[in-house]
């Protein structure tokens, strides 16, 4: 998936803005390129897990559809752990065609952003292409 540096910065900023809790959102894409970053409310309001609010999910999916985009990725942050899916993340990966992006703030001075494919509970890291 192709990102601009400003889109990566936007994900990191969202993660910082929602501290001490995890952030979450959806990325709209077209042909493997990120077009939109949609912030969502973490209904779990927890530093250990996320839950996309159903009203936000409907609003975001409608906006993605209206913009003729695809759900390219679901993203969330890890406030104290590495950018790797937890068992809970794996269990809740319901969109096999979407990537799962994790923003780790375990090292506040060096946020780490990684993408994963999670299909049938199998995790594979997917490279992010960052331009600009």
Instruction: List CB contacts of 56: < 8 A, sequence separation 6 or more.
Output: 40, 41
| 74-85 pLDDT per residue, tens | 999 999 999 999
Query: What is d(CA 14, CA 76) in angstroms, rounded to the nearest whole number?
Result: 9
pLDDT at 86 over 90: yes
Q: Which domains does the chain have, with CATH numbers?
A: 2-131 (3.40.140.10)
pLDDT at 132 over 90: no
- Alpha carbon separation from 3 to 8, 15, 44, 129, 130 (Å, rounded): 7, 17, 28, 6, 5
| 56-67 pLDDT per residue, tens | 999 999 999 999
Query: What is d(CA 71, CA 87) in angstroms, rounded to the nearest whole number?
Result: 22
pLDDT at 121 over 90: yes
pLDDT at 97 over 90: yes
């Amino acid at each position: 998936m192709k990102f601009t540096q400003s889109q990566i910065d936007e994900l990191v900023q969202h993660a910082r803005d929602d501290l001490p809790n995890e952030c979450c959102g959806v990325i709209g894409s077209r042909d493997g390129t990120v077009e939109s970053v949609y912030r969502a409310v973490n209904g779990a309001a927890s530093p250990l897990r996320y839950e996309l609010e159903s009203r936000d999910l409907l609003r975001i999916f409608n906006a993605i559809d209206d913009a003729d985009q695809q759900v390219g990725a679901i993203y969330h942050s890890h406030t104290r752990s590495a950018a790797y899916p937890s068992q809970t993340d794996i269990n809740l990966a319901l969109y096999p065609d979407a990537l799962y992006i994790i923003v780790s703030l375990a090292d506040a001075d060096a946020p780490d952003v990684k993408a994963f494919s999670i299909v049938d509970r199998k995790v594979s890291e997917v490279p992010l292409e960052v331009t600009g």
